[in-house]
Structure 1
Amino acid sequence: MKIWIFFTLALLWLEMQPGVCQQFKRKKEAGENRVRQGRKKVKVRYPKVKEKDAISKSQSLLTQVLDKGRFLKVGETLFLNPGKTLELRCKGTNIDWSYPSNLDTFNDSRLSIKQQERYSQLIVTSPSAADTGEYSCWPILCDGQECQKDSENTSASYIFFTDKDEMFVPSAIHFEIIYLRPDKPATIPCRVTNPKIRVSLHREVPPEEIFIDGTEISYNPMKGFVFQNPSPEHKGAYYCKANSTSKSTPEISTKYQLLYVEVPSGPPFASIEASSSTARGGDIFNVTCTVFGEPEENVSFSWIFPGKVSFTVV
């Protein structure tokens, strides 16, 4: 009788062992899944602030309109064919522009700038090699009536209008005077319409090609030949020569007369003079303001007189 009871208990114990093992195994696997899921959540958690900062730093204000609905982010340089209308857009509600000075000559009607609700639009119709240069834009920040340029958010691009018939950027000046000063670099502005064009510098008297060492004298296709430390030996008459594989004959640039000036450059000063020291009602008299300083520098005059607010004439 006791043996039969012992045998029955042994069978019951053997049947219960697999269920206990399976239950323990299931609990262990569930625990492992919870730990694995927890690690996955931590792995994909990124700081959102840094991501936004990276996006904002990569954004540029300046874009080119290719066709209707197609836009291109403009880089540091851009190569375009002359003749096709150029349209640039700059993001912002109050934008100012800078562009090659020849577009301001005689109030060139090919240039138009319009401020839209969210961007400013610059259009140049029938662009040519002469329009090669830097185009830039920046927001204008105003506090009441005082406004200033937001230099930190300026976007710029140098645009080459590549023309196989015009290797040098055309200039309305056929003989240009360049002043050499001991305290700052000087530039012979023979710029090209394609940076792949080979350019050399030549002196007229004595006739010779100038050696370009890349340090004291260097060439930049967007600026010209740069003299880092001008000296009296550099004065004289010069010209640039351009050679290209697409053109059989070389092209000669504008002539440049380099004059050495011993006196360092300084700020301009003004002198004012009236045609009469006294006047009665109804009389006409003249007030002349003369500025003395660097030649060929852009000068703006600000006038203040009784009964009128100040105004500026460029």
Structure 2
Amino acid sequence: MKLWILLLLSLFLLEIQNGASQQTKNKKDASLRPGRKRVKGRNPKIKDKEVGGKLQSILTQVLDKGRFLRLGDDVVLDSGKTLELRCKGTKIGWAYPSYLDTFNDSRLSINQNEKFSQLTLTTPSAADTGEYSCWVILCDGDECEKDTDRVSSSYIYFTDKDDLFVPSTIHFEIVYMRPDKPATVPCRVTTPKATVSLHREMPPEEVQVDGKLISYNPTKGFILQNPGPEHMGAFYCKAKSTTKNTAQVSTKYQLLYLEVPSGPPYATIQASSNEVSGGDIFNITCTVLGEPEMDVKFIWTYPGQDQRPVSIQASHRLINRGVGQIMRLSQSVMIVDDVETIDYGNYMCTAKNTHGETSLATQVNSYH
């Protein structure tokens, strides 16, 4: 009798255990059914949503009636209509086509509000085509820096049927080519739909663009990956729109090939005479040979400094030193008139460029 009671009790306990297990399984299955959400612990609030593995742009365009458009890599707009861009953040930095700063263009204004900064450009034209970007500035007291993780940019085309090329203030532009980096013929267009070709002036011919050694980017121009002496000469670009068959011609570009090393100034110093007498006139010339577009600043130190009047004249010009050797010759000439005893001694010239500086000295003595 006791054996039957124990057997029935065991079966009863087993049934209860199976029922509890089935209930747990049903709850688990219900949590995975469509339309049901599994609740997890809340994550910290993310300021910017990620799309395709990268942060969404903080740059937006203000449209009519309070609407906003988050800008992508590029956008095409009509000329003449005021451009309003907003960038989220309590402190924002901006970048835009540099000529707007160069000419202090009053059409451009930037206003920082509590939660965003707004850039406004009135009556934009084809010349305003270019990259517009903004970034968050982080400050710790008086020290501020650019937040490289919160930068947004967009290339904006301002279309104009009369200007397929972005206008330039230079009618004949020099492009310097170097063997260690690509060169760009900067004939940018105001619409990405324009068909653009590159042409050599002499002999007259269209340059073949293979997409590798020579390619075209509407935001930059024609890119020569491995420029050489064979690419020297005068060039221009032609563009055709989808609505007109008549081609427009760009400004002309003179391509020069260089083999000038980058670095501190390569300088020399020479006096017209290293021995002079009282009452004589002499001059000292400091000369620098360097890259054609590299500015050079000269600083002089001399015996009669702050006590004797001297004349200092600076000049520069491009010179041709053979095939592929276009260089900039920069000079500073100091002239000392009516020599006095205080003028004898060391004359030092320091030449500076963006890569560094070079100092040289020569001595002028009394003639006995």
Give the TM-score band, short-chain normalised: 0.7 to 0.9
Matched, 1:210 2:210: no
CA distance in 2, matches of 1:111, 1:286: 43
On the 8 A contact 1:270/1:289 being kept in 2, the answer is: no
CA distance in 2, matches of 1:118, 1:271: 47
CA distance in 1, matches of 2:166, 2:252: 14
Q: Deviations over 1:109-137 (max 9, x none)?
A: 11001111111110000011111110001
State the AA in 2 paired with 1:277.
Answer: Q
Q: How does 1:77-156 map to 2 (within 5 A)?
A: 77-156=74-153
The CA RMSD measured in Å over matched residues stands at 3.6
Matched, 1:264 2:261: yes
Tell me, what secondary structure is at the counterpart of 1:152? strand
Matched, 1:191 2:219: no
Moved more, 135-144 or 80-89: 135-144
Q: Which aligned runs of 4 or more in structure 1 are off by greater than 6 angstroms?
A: 25-31, 284-291
Q: How does 1:1-314 map to 2 (within 5 A)?
A: 32-41=22-31, 44-46=38-40, 48-49=42-43, 52=46, 55=49, 57-266=54-263, 270-273=297-300, 277-278=305-306
Describe the shift of the 1:163–1:35 C-alpha distance in structure 2 as closer, same or farther (beyond 3 A): same
Tell me, what secondary structure is at the counterpart of 1:90? strand
CA distance in 2, matches of 1:50, 1:272: 58
CA distance in 2, matches of 1:83, 1:137: 23
CA distance in 2, matches of 1:179, 1:31: 79
CA distance in 2, matches of 1:237, 1:287: 37
Q: Deviations over 1:16-53 (max 9, x none)?
A: xxxxxxxxx99988874553124434771456449948
Percent pairwise identity: 59
Shift of 1:184: 1.1
Describe the shift of the 1:271–1:48 C-alpha distance in structure 2 as closer, same or farther (beyond 3 A): farther
State the AA in 2 paired with 1:227.
Answer: L
Tell me, what secondary structure is at the counterpart of 1:130? helix
On the 8 A contact 2:196/2:237 being kept in 1, the answer is: yes
Describe the shift of the 1:65–1:49 C-alpha distance in structure 2 as closer, same or farther (beyond 3 A): same
State the AA in 2 paired with 1:239.
Answer: Y
State the AA in 2 paired with 1:83.
Answer: G
Q: How many residues align?
A: 270
Describe the shift of the 1:266–1:67 C-alpha distance in structure 2 as closer, same or farther (beyond 3 A): farther
Tell me, what secondary structure is at the counterpart of 1:258? strand
Describe the shift of the 1:93–1:65 C-alpha distance in structure 2 as closer, same or farther (beyond 3 A): same
Aligned to 1:12: none
CA distance in 1, matches of 2:180, 2:151: 29
Which 5+ residue runs of structure 2 have no aligned equivalent? 1-14, 265-293, 317-326, 329-352, 355-368
**Where is the helix percentage greater, Structure 1 or Structure 2?**
1
Shift of 1:270: 4.7
CA distance in 2, matches of 1:240, 1:170: 13
Moved more, 238-247 or 260-269: 260-269
On the 8 A contact 2:193/2:242 being kept in 1, the answer is: no
State the AA in 1 paired with 2:27.
Answer: Q
